[in-house]
Structure 1
């Protein structure tokens, strides 16, 4: 069912007021669409036309001047006017041959009225036709939308929607999912399909081919791309509206499928929790993943933790949140299994592609989540994200889970120091964590900066801050003084005191590294509320 979505000159010629009209040139353009009727009697038209107007004129503007007449017709053609109707009479007795030739060469319809006509009657009639056409288009669009709604109530509606789109438009349909699935209607041989797909993908569309595109979007994410292709005429506004309605229906169908899948996964949250704790064997994990996605070929995984203060307050939106997150990761080759406990969501990111760019892809996902309007609308405040260590074996997820929790813990305690999301980017704090777990952190801190801490506590001093900045500036005194907003002489006094407390050799490579670690460890201990004072150090050294 291919509805005519435009009023053509050919249709207008069948109306009552054109019964005595004569097409003297440009018959190849009688299919031109007419969007409005415009009476023009002037020669300066630079800002008067928008395109697709049928122009009515008596010729009074050029008064028999063939040169001006020819220039004006050329301007009409350049402005993409639909055609020109001329009333023959006192101003124009006949149309010169050169103008007829110009119109024929450009398929620009020239129509003459041998008898006197009332332009007001013509405009009224054509505008009435345009209104009827517009009403018919709205009716057709409403009919199409109703049929789409009926299909959405059926099982597996996607192929039926694509078939309905082809039925209405009679154009070639191209549907390309983010996973690389390509559907073409009507079906063609593989070589022609691949050739057409390459033209679309590279945006190298031939001039004789007209293409309209509409993304299939839901939850601010694009899941697929829908194209209609016409190899004859330009794609009309009506056809674009039909394409748009089809893309929306496809998005609704896809969202429903994802919602159902996510509900199934939600029932398995407890299973995922046991996986995170290391309670499942490798075989059990592989069997379970195969049931979820038979084509899944895992290539390592990592755990991502997402913590937000009010995550437990959006229960009605949790499934949509999971659908949204799954779509983001799926587009980047990552299969998602998740479990929510109070204000924290644990996500197992199963890698489906090569390992070398896994971190970059995860970073892209995090950036997308942070910027998303969907997340902002959920008002998830104080969102914090961490990613654990990448593991090659699915049954080693527990290690990634542990390191993700460690990363999240440090990020919460030291938000100004740790701005990245990945465990591997903790750098020196990984050593600090290990030392703290082994119970040697306090002793290590005291051994290298204990005297400095005691001095600052007793004298309300700023030696530790001076030492940290001096090391950060690699011993450059001028730069250090500028960063501390002190004069050079004050810095010299402080450095003399530091030499006295921790030795003149604190800039030597190995000792400097130990001091830098101890400063980071002290800041971590303070953030963790493991407050040290001079009396504690004295006890710990003598005990």
Structure 2
């Protein structure tokens, strides 16, 4: 459970704090309070902080306050609190309020008469209580998602006592945030870690806001680079609604998070608590497909897998690897020894349903080059594209190869 700005403003003793801008974002989760002592906050916060600006130790003119608002937005701060009174910052300039409203930064005014020790003690106590409750809720959800259930009735009773709405049927959404290696290469380890923390905070906040709009919200479960969201799925059209909402979320976030990228796998709809683990297994299979097939644009539902669902049911990985090696081994080996062109050629050929001209255009090569490569593939594998049985074997082996977690997904675009 996260403590939100709205929760803080409702705490006893803090009634004199007023939300002046960013009302639409008052459900932002607060990770911790931070009192800004320097002229800039960008290098001192990592996302999710409620930043207090006093003006006591550093002059805060209109220009500086505008800078802090912009940095709060860039660094995904939960909100900005400005203390006002007869000394230091006498009032918040209207331009600062307008900028905060435009950027979606919650801006709170706190009178100096409300002592900081009272505010920080109230927030700190509420944060500890919320974190304890949140950990209890997450642990219970993880037990259900992992299938670690000895007595379902006991877990459901405990869920009721923790305020978890588990009577609603759910669809599992599994998100993965990829690209930390690219961040390190581009910015170095220290700066990359700071950017990653801010990106994670932005994702957590956006995901929680989406869940709130869907109703019957359960906090997302964060596990490393994965987030698990339990989406309400009661009505027949809820699955399509959930998919559309999650896809719009990813499309909105990916440009902001670049070079990081989000991928999404969705289970089928309407699972009760007893089948959360099964639903998560479905979502994992769909996520692998979302990562492996660029044409899916990073999103896949379990009911869209087709033959991939059958491959996922084969538990012995060596059986799949042997099949790939038998069918595609010679051309994979050839690509490893020379410029890797045969496997991309094969992908393009199948993507364009055997149309050599379109496949050549897709790869940016001459049609004769495409024809030569396909003949070489037939020679190396002993298969024929004109034989339906051979085509089926090659297409299945290609599916397995693309789904392999040991290699990055290749795009034929």
Residue of structure 2 equivalent to 1:479:
358
Over 3 Å counting, the alpha-carbon distance change for 1:479 and 1:415 in structure 2 is closer
Residue of structure 1 equivalent to 2:42:
none
In the alignment, the residues of structure 2 paired with residue 510 and residue 331 of structure 1 have an alpha-carbon distance, to the nearest angstrom, of: 49
1:466 correspondence with 2:335:
no
In the alignment, the residues of structure 2 paired with residue 386 and residue 511 of structure 1 have an alpha-carbon distance, to the nearest angstrom, of: 33
Equivalent of 1:274, from 143, 146, 168?
Answer: 143
RMSD over aligned Cα atoms: 5.2
Over 3 Å counting, the alpha-carbon distance change for 1:343 and 1:381 in structure 2 is farther
Number of residue pairs aligned between Structure 1 and Structure 2: 298
Summarize the alignment of residues 259-298 of structure 1 with structure 2, pairs less than 5 Å apart: 264-280=133-149, 281-293=151-163, 297-298=167-168
Equivalent of 1:401, from 263, 280, 295?
Answer: 280
Post-superposition CA distance 1:181-201 (Å, at most 9, x none) = xxxxxxxxxxxxxxxxxxxxx
In the alignment, the residues of structure 2 paired with residue 432 and residue 291 of structure 1 have an alpha-carbon distance, to the nearest angstrom, of: 41
Summarize the alignment of residues 380-459 of structure 1 with structure 2, pairs less than 5 Å apart: 382-390=260-268, 392-408=271-287, 414=292, 416=294, 419-424=297-302, 425-435=304-314, 437-454=316-333, 456=335
Query: Is the 1:277–1:398 Cα contact (8 Å) retained in structure 2?
Result: yes
CA positional deviation for 1:219: 4.7
Structure 1 stretches lacking a partner, 5+ long: 1-150, 162-213, 222-243, 531-543
TM-score, with normalisation over the residues of structure 2? 0.53
Post-superposition CA distance 1:321-350 (Å, at most 9, x none) = 767633321211352144334444433x15
Residue of structure 2 equivalent to 1:218:
25
CA positional deviation for 1:449: 2.7
Summarize the alignment of residues 76-87 of structure 1 with structure 2, pairs less than 5 Å apart: none
Over 3 Å counting, the alpha-carbon distance change for 1:288 and 1:471 in structure 2 is same
In the alignment, the residues of structure 2 paired with residue 323 and residue 500 of structure 1 have an alpha-carbon distance, to the nearest angstrom, of: 54
Structure 2 stretches lacking a partner, 5+ long: 1-8, 29-100, 111-122, 181-192, 409-413
Post-superposition CA distance 1:153-207 (Å, at most 9, x none) = 54998xxx9xxxxxxxxxxxxxxxxxxxxxxxxxxxxxxxxxxxxxxxxxxxxxx
Query: Is the 1:219–1:324 Cα contact (8 Å) retained in structure 2?
Result: no
Residue of structure 2 equivalent to 1:299:
169
In the alignment, the residues of structure 1 paired with residue 259 and residue 371 of structure 2 have an alpha-carbon distance, to the nearest angstrom, of: 46
CA positional deviation for 1:385: 4.0
CA positional deviation for 1:268: 3.1
CA positional deviation for 1:394: 0.9
CA positional deviation for 1:294: 7.8
Summarize the alignment of residues 79-118 of structure 1 with structure 2, pairs less than 5 Å apart: none
In the alignment, the residues of structure 2 paired with residue 417 and residue 299 of structure 1 have an alpha-carbon distance, to the nearest angstrom, of: 30
Equivalent of 1:330, from 198, 207, 212?
Answer: 212
CA positional deviation for 1:444: 1.3
Larger Rg: 1
CA positional deviation for 1:398: 1.6
SS of the aligned residue for 1:440 comes to: helix
SS of the aligned residue for 1:475 comes to: coil
Summarize the alignment of residues 18-33 of structure 1 with structure 2, pairs less than 5 Å apart: none
Over 3 Å counting, the alpha-carbon distance change for 1:437 and 1:294 in structure 2 is closer
Over 3 Å counting, the alpha-carbon distance change for 1:508 and 1:346 in structure 2 is same
SS of the aligned residue for 2:386 comes to: coil
SS of the aligned residue for 2:318 comes to: coil
